[in-house]
Structure 1
């Protein structure tokens, strides 16, 4: 029997210290958790400290039945203080020089990359040289196969990004996910003409030879731009508890549906519904109801 290939969330694993208490998170871990709920072989890849929060992270991943490859390193497990504004939008205070800033690239990690069918990575975990080297080495070790999804969920967090990191990441990706706050940064970096956001997304798609650009605009809807078409979806109106992890669940559910062979509009519709549900829950990793899993 062929070994089930991985769908990897690569980068930060951390504790979100929310007003309602601490919850395990980090965009890559959130991604891996949600693709696992769709029946894929999700794997969170990161590093944790040799501390109590590291042990708690392992226990929480086991409780959530999420597989992980976690190096134990001589740095504290990541923590983020999260405050929510009146609309439930999170404001992050992200600690530096923590475990996920120091992910090593090991032979075991190379073997994981060689057996990966999709990976989602961002900018935040590449703020440090050590983890940036590991992430780029992982991407370089992926199978040379057009069907392998290399999803750059750009996830710009001021001041933890640079044009150098964005250049490297876009060059390694074949799918870009960007939101309406991040697109102007890219427009400035690459001198995109002052046209519509969708035209700017298409220019980025062409410039970096991307299969897809996923463009999200919060309550204003979302778009998936391919060479052939543009899929658009409005955002459902829901009672928002918090938006932590909603974008990660969108990326994960779109990826899972796309891997399973659904069309771009079908995968897009599922992603919108899943993200809307996550906004009605506390934290980034709620259990999804069966009717959303198909």
Structure 2
């Protein structure tokens, strides 16, 4: 099972507690996939700085394949995180290396030979033309069984063009309840089913925070629900990324959709109960999610 993720590698800086951790949805996603037993590759860029070196070491530690992580002259990405109650707010105003993700013809040929099962992307790295064009090159030149989009809307770093493009390219879409409300408000859809019809999306994973998650499968015209798992909330950073990884891992292993959703929900609750976005897995968790 091989997955290629495209997008940002950055350090989350908890301003209040002065804590600095490597993050970025694609890196979190790939790290969880690798911990579950898949092969996770990431297409991104880091700076030629000490933070970039840390990021590459981090990828090694979590068995994330870094062959498509290219250094450039910009600084490694930074995201300042503050909290509105328990919910994180992300400040991404500083331009980072992930705003200059480049892909060569040689890399595209290598990607074709890898026979990836899934391609994963979001909207943040599309804020720059360079990275957006690289994303388009990959989607136009490399075949994948499925394309998975975690919309991950951040501040104002998206446009109607980016949103429409991302929805149109998605076989499986993950959104949270705020993003779904935004899409409805802006006229992109009237309902989850309508979103699938309009953009030819096969499945939509909708996360509902402490209330759990739901999955809509367009081919069956069926909605699956998974109730929230009671847990002590420590940090929600990375929980959605872990759910995406766990859902996809089980889906690619041909597990029933209800089980895929339930296991993803369990994984998300586990991550919420830990300080780290990629915590050590317990034996009990592994039994429940694999």
Whether these two folds match at TM > 0.5 is yes
Q: Which moved more, 1:249-258 or 1:177-186?
A: 177-186
Report deviation, 1:108: 4.0
- Give the aligned partner of residue 97 of structure 2: 99
Normalised by the length of structure 2, the TM-score is: 0.92
Structure 1 segments of 4+ aligned residues over 6 angstroms from their partners: none
2:6, 2:43 within 8 Å by CA — same for their partners in 1?
A: yes
Change over 3 Å in CA distance of 1:263–1:98 after alignment to 2: same
Instruction: Tell me whether 1:218 sits opposite 2:215 in the alignment.
Output: no
Partner SS, residue 170 of structure 1: helix
Give the count of matched residue pairs. Answer: 280
**Aligned mate of 2:236, from 225, 231, 243:** 243
- What is the aligned partner in structure 2 of residue 133 from structure 1? 133
Q: CA 1:24 to 1:32, structure 2 compared with 1: closer, same or farther past 3 Å? A: same
- Contact 1:174/1:211 (8 A) holds in 2: yes
Aligned counterparts of 1:85 and 1:281: Cα–Cα separation in 2:
19
- Please, which moves more after superposition, 174-183 or 93-102? 93-102
What does residue 117 of structure 1 align with?
117
After superposing the two structures, state which structure 1 stretch, 64-73 or 175-184, moved more.
Answer: 64-73
Question: Quick check: 1:232 aligned with 2:225?
Answer: yes
Name 1:280's counterpart in structure 2. 273
**1:70-219 equivalence runs, <5 A:** 70-87=69-86, 89-114=87-112, 115-143=115-143, 148-190=145-187, 192-193=189-190, 200-219=191-210
Deviation at 1:83, TM superposition (A): 2.0
Residue 259 of structure 2 corresponds to residue 262 of structure 1: no
Instruction: For residues 174-201 of structure 1, give each alpha carbon's deviation from its aligned partner in whole angstroms, at most 9, with x where no partner exists.
Output: 11111111112222343534xxxxxx11
- Give me the CA root mean square deviation: 1.6
1:277–1:150 CA distance, 2 compared to 1 (3 A): same
CA distance in 1, matches of 2:106, 2:21: 28
**Alpha-carbon separation, structure 1, partners of 2:235 and 2:210:** 13
Q: For residues 9 and 288 of structure 1, what CA distance do their matches in structure 2 show? A: 22
User: Which runs of 5 or more structure 2 residues have no equivalent in the other structure?
Assistant: none
**DSSP 3-state at the match of 2:102:** coil
1:14–1:78 Cα contact (<8 Å) kept = yes
Q: Distance in 1 between matches of 2:188 and 2:83?
A: 34
Change (3 A) 1:263 1:49: same
**Partner SS for 2:232:** coil
Shift of 1:265: 0.5
- Give the Å deviation of 1:113: 3.8
